[in-house]
Homo-oligomer: A and B are copies of this chain.
Amino acid sequence: MEPVNRSWYFGERPTGEPDRDCFELRKDPVPAPSDGELLVRVEYLSVDPYMRGRMRDSESYAEPWDVGDVLQGGIVGEVVESHSEQYDVGDFVTGNGSWAEYSLLDADDVALVDPETADLPAYLGVLGMPGRTAYFGLLEVGDPKPGDTVVVSGAAGAVGSVVGQIAKLNGCRVVGFAGADEKTRWLTDDLGFDAAINYKETDDYGAALDEAAPDGVDVYFDNVGGPITDAVFTKLNLDARVAVCGQIAHYNDEELPTGPRKLPQLIAPRAKVQGLLVADYATRFGEASEQLATWVASGQIQHRESVVEGLENAPDAFLGLFSGDNIGKQVVHVRD
């Protein structure tokens, strides 16, 4: 009997909020690697908000999935068969693979990970794409100076939690928005944020900002959009920088949503607003990974992962991103 590989397929395009019908679990034979490929037994699988964009039938920075495609994302796992001289069976690697128990990866497109340096899920979070997004987004687009006030939305998420800590290491006052007391406590008590606002506990984000960021906002790192962003834009200081990393509040909108116009608000402060995509910094990923690993090893940056057990629950892990179920990086533990 052939060994079986369970994989998640794209079942149907969502209209508005996705649900379980968008996902279809199938059993296939475990695939065989070609020359230069590795067969990896998936330990952890990453679910990320940007994947919602791949469910749309329109070109964006990430190619859209077609119905019937195997879903793809960041994975970390163990090499069980190698057709490449670069990696041996038993190595742990990370790369972009399938939402599956076993995934084929091109040896040229993976990186070795060391389970002694950090737990495997960290390689999908602080030491993976979200950590690098925080690193380049904050430092290159946000350009924080000591004494600046940095505001982060989605602050308890995989990217936001790292952004805030890097801002603290740069001598900034850091204010985070998050949607639960457990999250805001984590930000202030463990991660060293100067203030955190539970946006589900107040309607008046402007007043909350006046208290948490009395000197205004020099850098805004936006993962969310919506009313939080509307409020922050009224507090931008002269020469403020806004890094637009994500807009999760709008990913399930069918039409381009409306809101207060922001361009009139940019002139007086001469604020700069810039869309951010980590792939643009690919040639410098080594620098970021090294620095982040150093900070993690020294305890200067802390990290947390929310783990959903079982490949069969991967869709729920993904859907939970939109209701803010996760604290830190959301991953799926695939291997039994």
Question: Which A residues are within 8 Å of any B CB, using their own CB?
Answer: 60-61, 222, 225, 229, 244-247, 250, 256-277, 280
Contacts and interface: CB of A to CB of B under 8 A. Distances in A.
A83 B293 CA distance: 68
B275 A280 contact: no
B257 A261 contact: yes
A257 B258 contact: no
Contacts of A263: 222, 225, 229, 244, 247, 262, 273
B61 A267 contact: yes
B261 A270 contact: no
A261 B264 contact: no
A273 B272 CA distance: 6
A152 to B, nearest CB: 15
A264 B246 CA distance: 8
Contacts of A222: 263
Contacts of A272: 272-275
22 contacts: A60-B268, A222-B263, A225-B263, A244-B267, A246-B267, A247-B261, A247-B264, A250-B261, A256-B264, A256-B265, A257-B264, A258-B258, A258-B261, A259-B259, A266-B274, A270-B274, A270-B275, A270-B276, A272-B272, A272-B273, A272-B274, A272-B275
A260 B268 contact: no
Contacts of A265: 256
A239 to B, nearest CB: 9
Given A244-B263, A271-B274, 18 more contacts: A61-B268, A225-B264, A245-B267, A246-B267, A247-B261, A247-B267, A250-B261, A250-B264, A257-B264, A258-B258, A263-B273, A266-B273, A266-B275, A267-B276, A270-B280, A271-B275, A272-B273, A273-B273
Contacts of A280: 270
